[in-house]
Chains A and B, each alone.
Chain A
Amino acid sequence: MTEQWDPPRQRSFLEVNDLRVHFNTDDGVVKSVDGLSFKLERGKTLGIVGESGSGKSVSSMALMGLQRYAKAKMTGEIWLDGEELLSADDDHVRSLRGKKMAMIFQDPLSAMHPFYTVGQQIIEAYRIHHKVTKAVARKHAIEMLDRVGIPQPSSRVDDYPHQFSGGMRQRAMIAMALSCDPELLIADEPTTALDVTVQAQILDLIQDLQQEFGSAVIIITHDLGVVAEQADEVAIMYAGRIVEHAPVLAIFDRPLHPYTQGLFRSIPGISGRHDRLEAIPGQVPDLLRLPSGCTFRDRCPQAIADCAGVAPPLEEHAPGHRAACIRL
């Protein structure tokens, strides 16, 4: 527990310390992210799993510095390769986007500009970070499109986003995100909107590119299958907090937190059980009406009176395996 606040002797490539993103609304303060801490090294993949309202997407936007334009109150620290980003100025954070860190969004259509060709959008991003001529950047864009499996890249580079199919758009966005070899890649539900067969292609692609460039990758998803196949480490989020964080094998072998256990039991599996699923009772949390203490306690089968007290801290129960539950 104490290790996260150690002095910066040797920082991890990415270190997030007690990150909070709060929004003031007419109905009260929405604590979308409420005390997030984790570390990630280069070449590793962290899977962040959560349902609606867990804060998984807000966290990723905060890491990218995209939340600074919204009326959000942010506190904590985000250290990327030795630099603290939360206190850095806007221009500096902008200059890091693309090369130092890049993001793949769930919906490629809203992440691309409809008036510019796919090529123009990749070229623009590339030339911000590389002092090269348009012709060189264009050649690079075609190479990237080829790399992600767009057929006839030298002619498709001049197409507009709407001329691409859903899977091709997602691949084009990945090409855009990877065009400057980002050292940190955040993929927010990168395959949720895609068909299963295309999803498999995209996941393989992210893995290949990571191996090639040694990037750190954060995959945000609600699909435990995606996590099992891609992640080295898994963080489970609930109502703005990490409730369990562990190496992938440990969390699948022995999930500790009752929410993680419930989540694992509620997935219908291929082959095997056709009887009832063990559903988690209740509804996904309403961030304006969270219970006191442990926010999962109103849905938790193991809750006791003490759970209403203070929010349980994330504590280590086995090497590298942390969980936030007072019943452990």
Chain B
Amino acid sequence: MTPLIEVREVRKHFPIGGGLFGGPRAWVLAVDGVSLAIQPGETLGLVGESGSGKSTLGRLMLRLIEPTSGEVAFDGRSLLALGARELRALRREMQIIFQDPYGSLDPRMRVESIVGEGLAIHGLGTRAQRRERVRELLELVGLPPEAARRYPHEFSGGQRQRIGIARALAVGPRFVVADEAVSALDVSIQAQILNLLQDLRRRLGLTMLFIAHDLRIIEHLSDRVAVMYLGKIVELAPREAIYTNPRHPYTRALLSAVPVPDPRQRRQRMVLGGDVPSPVEPPPGCAFHPRCPHAEDVCRTVVPPLVAGRGGHAVACHVFPADPL
């Protein structure tokens, strides 16, 4: 089966510093050689801490930013080869839901214009049909029809996130990137939005990249999970395998760092020393080695490739590789 979306060896390096005439002083290696494929109907969870490059990767998949090198394909077609007009036409198929339900909605637009903007841009339907479609969408995401005439500030965070979801779904996309879509919400509201996304993805057969820093939320929604650290995928596996048989020491540390809501299980955490290093000068070899309790000599010099093993489980680690095929 052709994956709906695929990236091959994609890199994004951002320049920093430098003046008007000088070249950049350094490069941030935000995404540094990632290959991934998402099958139609699949939800891939992408987890990582700040600076891991997870949001940049999500934007590269939509070609919202241009990669420094590498290939991005949607439904077998290269996204990078498309001209502006073809790309715009294809935007109907790929949409994004942002983290911040406050900053991502234009405060001067009514909800019906926000949700219907994509339909108008793509020239879909008559004005009356578009209005009807907006009503349907609002109902789909659990908002009353009166919401259409109101402005974003009249809504709470959770309701705004529903507006953002309705906007993303308006043009009938096949692929949706949800970038920390529930991170800014209160716990009780987070559950509502997670349930909504779960329902929508089943009902509409959506393919999703679900980006989050919280493994609990990732687990809830994903079919497969990719763990990112400093611009690279360090582990990729079906959901069960990531949670029951994590291999990479970073994945294990992430899992053990999540506070468990059970006071009888106060256990010894595997606490990592230090912070995530700067993506400007990632450590040589395995970028995780300065914080890794299992690092060996080879880890300090040789970058471990992401090697696929049995059961669709891929790991980038010299010490704890995936079970061989």
Asked if B86 is an interface residue, CB under 8 A from chain A, the answer is no
Q: A195-B49, A271-B219 are in contact. Are A204 and B269 (CB under 8 A)?
A: yes
Q: Are A263 and B271 in contact (CB under 8 A)?
A: no
Asked if B40 is an interface residue, CB under 8 A from chain A, the answer is no
Q: Are B216 and A268 in contact (CB under 8 A)?
A: yes
Asked if A270 is an interface residue, CB under 8 A from chain B, the answer is yes
Most chain-B Cβ atoms within 10 A of its Cβ — which of A198, A223, A279, A284?
A279
Complexed CA–CA distance, A263 and B190 (Å): 11
Question: How would residues 188 to 213 of chain A score, 1 for a CB under 8 Å from any chain B CB and 0 otherwise?
Answer: 00000001111111011000000000
Q: Are B259 and A228 in contact (CB under 8 A)?
A: yes
Q: Are A226 and B259 in contact (CB under 8 A)?
A: yes
Partner of B269, one of A200, A226, A227, A231: A200
Complexed CA–CA distance, A34 and B156 (Å): 22
Partner of B263, one of A203, A204, A248: A248
Partner of B188, one of A200, A249, A276, A284: A284
Q: A248-B263, A252-B262, A283-B156 are in contact. Are A270 and B243 (CB under 8 A)?
A: yes
Beta-carbon nearest neighbor of A201 in chain B: B271
Stretch from B72-80, B249-257, B315-323 contacting the other chain: B249-257
Stretch from A97-105, A112-120, A161-169 contacting the other chain: A161-169
Asked if B25 is an interface residue, CB under 8 A from chain A, the answer is no
Closest beta carbon of chain B to A115's beta carbon, Å = 23
Closest beta carbon of chain B to A48's beta carbon, Å = 14
Closest beta carbon of chain B to A130's beta carbon, Å = 31
Closest beta carbon of chain B to A203's beta carbon, Å = 7
Q: Majority SS of interface residues in chain B?
A: helix
Q: Are A228 and B192 in contact (CB under 8 A)?
A: no
**Interface size range on A against B:** 35 or more
Interface residues of B in 198-217 (CB under 8 A from A): 198, 213-217
Partner of A195, one of B255, B256, B259, B276: B276
CB-CB < 8 A to A280: which residues of B? 188, 191-192
Q: Are B217 and A268 in contact (CB under 8 A)?
A: yes
Q: Are A277 and B259 in contact (CB under 8 A)?
A: no
Interface residues of A in 211-239 (CB under 8 A from B): 222-229, 231
Beta-carbon nearest neighbor of A276 in chain B: B195
Asked if B85 is an interface residue, CB under 8 A from chain A, the answer is no
Interface residues of B in 174-205 (CB under 8 A from A): 186-192, 194-195, 198
By Cβ-Cβ distance, the 8 closest A-B pairs, closest first, are: A225-B259, A266-B191, A195-B49, A279-B191, A280-B188, A51-B186, A277-B191, A200-B257
Residue positions of B touching A, CB distance < 8 A: 49-50, 156-159, 186-192, 194-195, 198, 213-217, 219-220, 239, 243-244, 253-266, 269, 271-276
Identify 4 new A-B residue pairs, CB closer than 8 A, beyond the known A279-B189, A280-B191: A229-B259, A229-B266, A263-B188, A267-B261
Residue positions of A touching B, CB distance < 8 A: 51-52, 149, 151, 165-168, 195-201, 203-204, 222-229, 231, 248-249, 252, 262-264, 266-271, 274, 276-281, 283-284, 286
Query: Could you write out 20 A-B pairs with CB less than 8 Å apart?
Result: A51-B186, A51-B189, A168-B275, A196-B257, A198-B275, A200-B271, A225-B260, A227-B261, A228-B261, A249-B263, A252-B264, A270-B215, A274-B220, A277-B191, A279-B189, A279-B195, A281-B192, A283-B159, A283-B189, A284-B158
